[in-house]
Amino acid sequence: MKIFSILRILPFLILIPIPKNGNAQPFHISKSHLDPEEKIEALLGIATDEKTSPEEATEIFRQALAISEKHDLAEKEVEVHKAKAQFYLQQSKYFLGIQAYKEALRILKEKNLREEYWETNQALSQAYQEIGEYGKAIEICFDALEHYKQTQDRRNQAKYKMQIGKIFHLQENPKKALDFYHQGEKILKERDDTITIIYSQIQSLKGLSYIFLSEFEKAIASFNYSEKINQLLKEEDLTISNLGQLGMAYGSLNQFEESESYFKEAIKISYEKNDSLSAAINQGDLAYLYWIMSEKTKDPTQRNNYLDLALLNTEKAIKVFRTSKNLKGIQALYKQLSFLYESKNQIDLAYENYKNSIKFKDCVLNSRNMQEIARLHLSHEFKKTQDSLRLVNEKELAIRDANIKTKEKEKWLFLVIIVSLLIITMMILIQSKSRKRKNTELHLLNDELHKANQIKTRFFSILNHDLRRPISNVINFLYLRKNAEAIPLDSTSLEELEQHTMESAEHLLSTMEEMLLWSKSQMENFKPEFKKVEISLIFEDIKMFYHQEKVSFRFENPENLSLITDENYLKTITRNLTSNCISALSDTVSPLITWSAKKERGNIFLSIKDNGPGADPEQFQALFDENQTLGVKSGLGLHLVRDMAKAIGCKVRVVHSSSEQGTKIELEFHDLNLN
């Protein structure tokens, strides 16, 4: 849907209006009874009439300039030069057109007519755009932008931001174009000047850039916003442009009914205001839409109808484009016509229109060659000016070069001295850092050795206590089995002894697993594996692990809580705390251990409570002091609880421990549960 998209920027380009007269007048009008200004107006009307030949128009412009110079009518002289520039540009005589604009600018500058000066400068920028001299075109716009910044004319600042954006659009750089459109939009918003034709044009141009970027939803939003403003301004040209571009956007989204509707509305309004060129542009795009629709449908009759509509609209558009001598549009439409006839299997007509397309393509190339010649001519003139400036400054440059060379030598000598000092300083710093690094490494090694010794001490202490008892039970059982004749046992006692030994062996295995887990926790790279753990499963583990003990258990988890932690670490902690409680309850009547879970202040608390005799605070020191030595009788115990709790981010707290209340220890966890 982008065949005519580059032409759709034309309604926004600022053109200098040329007065027109419907009928050619005789050339002796300059000798009539009219006053000088009326004579000039009449001559311009004749020069720009379609029936006037280029040679006749040139002579008429000469007469109009002579009258304006004779009567010192500077503003009329400027008007003639601008009309002359437009005439030459329409004739593809770009160099002459640009020279006419420059002559108009010279007069405006001499007369200090600043506002018209910058308006004419904008027309010159457009002329440069037509021959591909985008650099000069943008330079003019930036000069104008600077002028309007100094005069604090915010609206014209926004207008020139828009003009620069359009130049980038013509260079097929829509992202850069959007950047300048947004800048212009921001300027108008700051002065609350959004219900203006400039703001509406910026929205429409943004939509066109979004189409080039295939961001069609954004394009539709921009066109609709532009049209919303435009309904208040009643600018029909912009309405036609917006409707056509909405047709393009919806067509690109394969929303063909909406696209067709917008194109038809644009064509209708174009005919109502006798704008045949806008109608032709939209007819060309509508024809392309019908062609796409013919490719999408599977109904042969419907396909043929779409192709007929596409041919009809293409031929209408070609007729208008031939009248306006728009070579690029004619070439594109003939190419489209060729494809349409090919789709209808009318190969002869397809070939004929393809030849027409090639013929007009050559014409386009010739036009481009003329533009290139004009561009080269201008570049040559610019180069001559630069050469003259270069010759004037050569002597000064030679003297300056000699001074620079002398200063260069001094600079290099100074640099050599500075670099030498820097090298010496760097060597000293490197040696100092090296010594510090080695000292640091030695300190780290000493610390690691000290930690390793501590771990070894703890490990042997654990082996001394936690493994001795279960192994002793196994040995006793084996001894009794070996001396079964000397020490007779009934079947019930033997069965109880076997069960007790089996439990001791299982306890031994569990203790070894805990030892392995504790040993890993002392390693640098070992980390817990966090996952969601149901607290009810932890309580089930305690119940199953200690079901043979002569202690009653109570488990309280009314909210059925869960938490994010390492399951094995938590089991080891709860087992060790439970074992300690069981040991403390050995002389207690009706021993009871209560495990409870609750959630407070966003955290989860697990607590174990017994009804035992309590203990001294010193006996719990291992829970909090990492330097506490692991005694022979303590085993893993509270040391293991402390290290495991630290690894999983759990806080351990002794709530109370006395003969009246028993002992209560609480585990606090941050609630990381995502559910």
The reported pLDDT for the residue numbered 5 is: 46
For 551, phi then psi, to 5°, come to: -135, 140
Comparing CA positions, the residue from 158, 152, 165, 177 lying closest to residue 125 is 165
pLDDT at 215: 93
- Which residue bears the tokens 């000047």? 193
Quickly count: other Cβ atoms within 10 Å of residue 130's Cβ: 18
User: Is there a contact between 169 and 209 (Cβ–Cβ < 8 Å)?
Assistant: yes
pLDDT at 166 over 60: yes
Which listed CATH number (3.90.230.10, 3.50.50.60, 3.30.565.10, 3.30.70.270) goes with 527-670?
3.30.565.10
**With the C-alpha atoms ordered 492, 496, 499, 501, is the resulting torsion angle positive or negative?**
negative
Q: φ and ψ at 467, to 5 degrees?
A: -95, -20
Residue count of the chain: 675
Output the pLDDT for position 564.
Answer: 92
Listed range (86-100, 324-338, 537-551, 571-585) with the worst mean pLDDT = 324-338
Average pLDDT over residues 153-172: 88
Would you tell me how many other CB atoms lie within 10 Å of the CB of residue 248?
A: 29
Q: Is 437 helix (H, G, I), strand (E, B) or coil?
A: helix
Spacing of C-alpha 161 from chain mean position: 23
Torsion angle of alpha carbons 376, 379, 385, 387, nearest 10°?
Answer: -90
The domains of the chain are located at 469-513, 527-670
Q: Is 181 in contact with 162 (CB distance < 8 Å)? A: yes
- Rounded alpha-carbon distances, angstroms, from residue 95 to 90, 138, 180, 512: 12, 18, 29, 97
Query: Which percentage of the chain shows pLDDT scores above 70?
Result: 79
User: Higher model confidence: residue 323 or residue 362?
Assistant: 323
Distance from C-alpha of 97 to C-alpha of 374, rounded to nearest angstrom: 10
Q: How many CB atoms lie within 10 A of CB 192?
A: 7
Indicate the range of 137-151, 318-332, 524-538 predicted with least confidence: 318-332
- Report pLDDT for 42: 87
Residues 357, 334 contacting (CB under 8 angstroms): yes
pLDDT digits (tens, 9 = 90+) for 278-323: 888 898 899 999 999 998 988 999 999 999 999 999 888 888 888 8
Q: Are 663 and 610 in contact (CB under 8 A)?
A: yes
DSSP state of 609: E
Q: Smallest Cα–Cα separation from 86: which of 30, 36, 20? A: 20
Give 481-512 pLDDT, tens digit per residue: 667 666 666 778 777 777 777 776 776 776 67
Four-CA torsion 82, 85, 91, 96, nearest 10 degrees? 160
Helix (H) or strand (E) holding 218: helix 216-233
Q: Are 557 and 536 in contact (CB under 8 A)?
A: yes
